[in-house]
Structure 1
Amino acid sequence: MICGSVGSGKTSLLAAILGGMLKKEGTVRLKGSVGYSPQEAWIMNATLRDNVLFGKELKLDVYDSVLKACSLDKDIEMLPGGDATEIGEKGINLSGGQKARIALARACYSQADLYLLDDPLSAVDVHVGNHIMSQCIGGLLAGKTRILVTHQVQYAGFADRVVFLEKGRIIAAGRPEEVRAAHSSWFQVKRKSGEDVDAADAKGDAGEGATAVDSEAGDEKETPPSKGAETKNSQTIQAEKREEGALKRKIWKAYANAMGLKMLIFLSSSYLISQALQSASDFWLSIWSSAERRGCSRCER
């Protein structure tokens, strides 16, 4: 687990591991495949299933276990087309927590050897965070090498080692209890903020948990469709309709009525005067250039 204050270099460390930063010294060695869940989830304009599979072959048992581990199964049940629901560009019709969990599910489905998880818990509420830590990061991915960036220090007990960063440098690394003892004040502040969130959540702030989805996604159907079912409403992003050809007379009339008679006369007059001045300037330029040519020809004679 990698933790530290905002701007301490946690995301930069993952970028360095992935080769996304210029290395001035030292060595970086990776063995096997890498699954990466970025801090800002990247979502393509495709179905939810395609966003999770990301071009890989569908293995239904693995797919179902990934959805459950990432707490996406309840969301899918309430979407109009199940996992065949089309997601808009950049996930415009999803909440932040849903986008983060889809990105995490994509990384999990890749069945990589190494997982780099850049704060996937920041966009979800406490209950969903607990589920993801126990069922996904600590469950489905158990036995794999996982590097988790998070501010949720209450989950430090899940980690074998904790790395504490400050101003781009590793100032402590070791077992969770060792790092917690060395930086007890910082851990206490973060744990206190986590407890505050827990208390607020317990008072009934449901957030966007496993049973909550966007209102536009879940309120349209009384009976949730089965997962993967193709329905008429599964395509939520429709192509724009447009007409071709010249503008109809009623459109010009609507514009004229909206402007009023005085404004219409003023704009029409201004347009005609501007066109006349532009034509006059071109005409005068042609006369001036012709006169100059005639003058030059007389000088040569």
Structure 2
Amino acid sequence: MYKLSGKVNTDGSIAYASQQAWIQNATLKDNILFGRPYNKNEYEKVVDACALRADFNMLPAGDQTEIGEKGINLSGGQKQRISLARAVYSNADIYLLDDPLSAVDSHVGKHIFENVIGPKGLLKDKTRILVTHSITYLPQTDKVIVLKDGVVSESGTYLELLDRKGAFSEFLLQHLNEEIVDDEDLEEITDQLESTPLGEEVRRISRSRPRVSESISESGSERIINGSYQRQMSIASQNSIRSLKKMTKSTELLKQDTTKVKEGKLIEAEKAETGSVKWEVYKHYISSIGVWLMLFVVLLNITYQAFSVGSNVWVGVWADDNDTLINGTVNTAKRDMYLAIYGVLGIGQALATMLSNLLFAKGTIDAAVKIHRQLLHNVMRLPCAFFDITPVGRILGRFSQDINGVDMRLPNAFQMLMSTLVRVISTIFVISYTSPLFIAVVVPVGIVYIGIQRIYVASSRQLMRLTSVTASPIYSHFGETLSGAQTIRSGNRLDSEITA
């Protein structure tokens, strides 16, 4: 619905309960408080009015039970009631309620309407704008605005709209004709319209339409006892119990973990590894590249360095050869021989480094693809309980930051390691061969260097691990904030979410 003309002014604070409930990855209590001060009396009233008391009693840690991202371990009805409770607890002046009773069964819906939204509810002194498709609550509203094709077709009190017999009356009759209405709701609607201009038409529809109790559900979730219809359990209640069982199962799995997670704590804090990288990690990466390909790349690096040292030695031999210049005349034959061999050594360096880089690039690309496929394969086959206790940001961190490390940082580090190691070893060998006393200097210097390197690598490695771990909550918080932008803005919580 779009504003075509005029102005929209509000006087006072606004609270918003969306049709798709937005739930934070926090405890039930924190979801209701939404950063506001805790008032025990008001909090208890809101919990009872929104029919959350029974859910709290069934949960392992009551309102301190942690909720997964997007309320993954809650039913639709539970999420909707928590979202409504958050709006009610805000004690705003204006309430925008976008069909908040759509996900709850009729009995819970009546309880919430009577205790929260209705003329005797907690919001009786507040301005309430309720969007709903349920017609049983309309007689208790102050004003009804009918929308048709995105525009306002009628407005007025409930009785005024019935007297007009316009779009609103047509909607009521169509709803009774086409929608599946429980016997109890049908009787209530019939009683409400008994003394209205639609009374006779409603009675005719009520007599003509088949009773719900005379039909048997194909799914077997309904049964007939002594000719009267009894629902085994409402869909919302079944979802609630199913989600509660799932939450209990997830909590039991966490309790069995060696970390001894606290009762009610659903998501375990991600821990960074400590100490040196295990050799199994290196073995897995090298096997992903290919052991023989890796050995061939190392051999090409050694070959390149051999050609490099050989060219330097050959230049030295050329410089020491006194036969290249005889009586002021250049010996072109020897010169050409020295140039040819020097050129061959240079071509050998170029070919060795080119083949080494090409093969290593192919191997590391194949390894990155293989590791990504293994990660995706494993994640897609994890049990549902894993996603209850693992934030989406943590999974995104593995697929983004860590995979980027496999794609970019790790190949560069391996290539630098191989080339530098071969160059250092060859340099030490050549100097030691020409000046044996250098060994007496290089050994203590090497010991000091290794000691410094161990300290630096340990701290650098741990910092990289901490960076990877701390990035996951940022991804989770960013996604959570985007999905709840309307609720955050309406609750005037922009600053707290940005600085969280």
Alignment-derived partner of residue 86 in structure 1: 66
Aligned match of 2:148: 166
- The residue number in structure 2 matching 1:203 is 231
TM-score (structure 2 length as normaliser): 0.44
User: Is the alpha carbon distance of 1:238 and 1:280 closer, same or farther for their aligned partners in structure 2, counting shifts above 3 Å?
Assistant: same
SS at match of 1:163: strand
SS at match of 1:170: strand
Cα deviation code 1:137-196 (max 9, x no counterpart)? 111211221100011122211211111112221011111233343123322333452515
Q: How does 1:7-22 map to 2 (within 5 A)?
A: 9=1
Question: What's the secondary structure of 1:165's corresponding residue?
Answer: strand
Matched, 1:243 2:273: yes
Q: Hey, which of these two has a bigger chunk of helix by percent?
A: 2
Aligned length: 247
Q: CA deviation at 1:63?
A: 0.7
Structure 1 or 2, whichever has the larger Rg, is 2
- Residues 37 and 103 in structure 1, CA contact (< 8 A), matched pair in contact too: yes
Amino acid at match of 2:13: S
> TM-score, normalized by length of structure 1?
0.70
Aligned pair partner of 2:87 in 107, 131, 142: 107
Deviation at 1:37, TM superposition (A): 0.8
Q: Which moved more, 1:233-242 or 1:142-151?
A: 233-242
CA distance in 2, matches of 1:58, 1:235: 21
1:189 aligned partner, one-letter code: Q
Give SS of 2:235's match: coil
Q: Could you list the per-position Cα deviations for residues 102-127 of structure 1 after superposition, in whole angstroms to 9, with x for gaps in the alignment?
A: 11001111111211101101111222
Distance 1:144 1:55 in 2: 22
* 2:188 corresponds to: none
Q: Which residue is equivalent to 2:110?
A: 130
1:229-281 per-position Cα deviation (integer Å, ceiling 9, x unaligned): xx93121111235535423439948x99xxxxxxx799444566789699426
Deviation at 1:55, TM superposition (A): 1.6
**CA-CA distance at 1:86 after TM superposition:** 1.3
Structure 1 residues 267 and 29: CA distance shift in structure 2, 3 A: same
- In 2: Cα distance, 1:236 partner to 1:265 partner: 35
Residue among 90, 97, 100 paired with 1:117: 97
Contact 1:72 1:101 in 2 (8 A): yes
Hey, what does 1:182 align to over in structure 2? 166
Query: Which one of the candidate residues 71, 76, 87 is aligned to 1:96?
Result: 76
Alpha-carbon distance in structure 2 between the residues aligned to 1:239 and 1:116:
36
Of structures 1 and 2, the one scoring higher in RCO (CA 8 A, sep 6+) is 1
Aligned partners of 1:210, 1:105: CA distance in 2, in Å?
A: 21
**SS of structure 1 residue aligned to 2:104:** coil
Q: Does the CA-based 8 Å contact 2:93-2:126 persist in structure 1?
A: yes
Q: Which amino acid aligns with 2:148?
A: E
**2 CA distance for matches of 1:34 and 1:218?**
36
Larger mean Cα displacement after TM superposition, 192-201 or 234-243:
192-201
C-alpha distance in 2, partners of 1:265/1:41?
44
Provide the residue aligned with 2:365 in structure 1.
Answer: none
Give the letter aligned to residue 153 of structure 1: I
Structure 1: where are the runs of 5+ without partners? 1-8, 13-22, 222-230, 257-263, 285-301
Q: Check whether the contact 1:91–1:99 (CA below 8 A) recurs between aligned residues.
A: yes
What are the ranges of 5 or more consecutive residues in structure 2 without an aligned counterpart? Answer: 186-211, 223-229, 252-260, 301-350, 359-500
Equivalent residues of 1:128, 1:209 under 8 A apart: no
2:21 is the counterpart of 1:50: no
Distance 1:164 1:278 in 2: 79
Residue pairs, 1:62-77, within 5 angstroms = 62-77=42-57
- How has the CA–CA distance of structure 1 residues 283 and 123 changed in structure 2, closer, same or farther, with 3 Å as cutoff? closer
Q: Distance in 1 between matches of 2:288 and 2:17?
A: 60
1:149 and 2:134 correspond: no
More deviation, 170-179/273-282: 273-282
Which residue is 1:225 aligned to? none
Distance in 2 between residues matched to 1:250 and 1:266, nearest whole Å: 13
Distance in 1, Cα, partners of 2:21 & 2:101: 12
What is the CA distance between 1:282 and its match in structure 2? Answer: 8.1
Amino acid in the other structure paired with 1:236: L
Alignment partner of 1:154: what SS? coil
Cα distance in 2 for partners of 1:80, 1:195 equals 36
Contact 2:78 2:240 (C-alpha < 8 Å) held by counterparts: no
Shift of 1:128: 1.2
Q: Secondary structure at the match of 1:127?
A: helix
Query: Residues 250 and 52 from structure 1, CA distance in 2 versus in 1: closer, same or farther, beyond 3 angstroms?
Result: closer
- The answer as to whether partners of 1:86 and 1:237 remain within 8 angstroms in 2 is yes
Alpha-carbon distance change, 274 to 120 in structure 1, aligned in 2, over 3 angstroms: farther
Q: Distance in 2 between matches of 1:274 and 1:146?
A: 72
Q: CA deviation at 1:216?
A: 2.5
Distance, in Å, in 2 between the alignment partners of 1:283 and 1:209 is 62
Structure-2 change in CA distance of 1:266 and 1:205 (3 Å) = same
For 1:211 and 1:240, locate their aligned partners in 2 and report how far apart those are by CA, in whole Å.
30
Counterpart contact for 2:297–2:356, Cα < 8 Å: no
Q: What is the match of residue 263 of structure 2?
A: 233
Q: How far is 1:41 from its partner? A: 1.6
Partner SS, residue 117 of structure 1: strand
Task: Within 5 Å, give how 1:261-272 maps onto structure 2.
Answer: 267-269=290-292
Q: Is the 8 A contact 2:75 2:239 kept in 1?
A: no
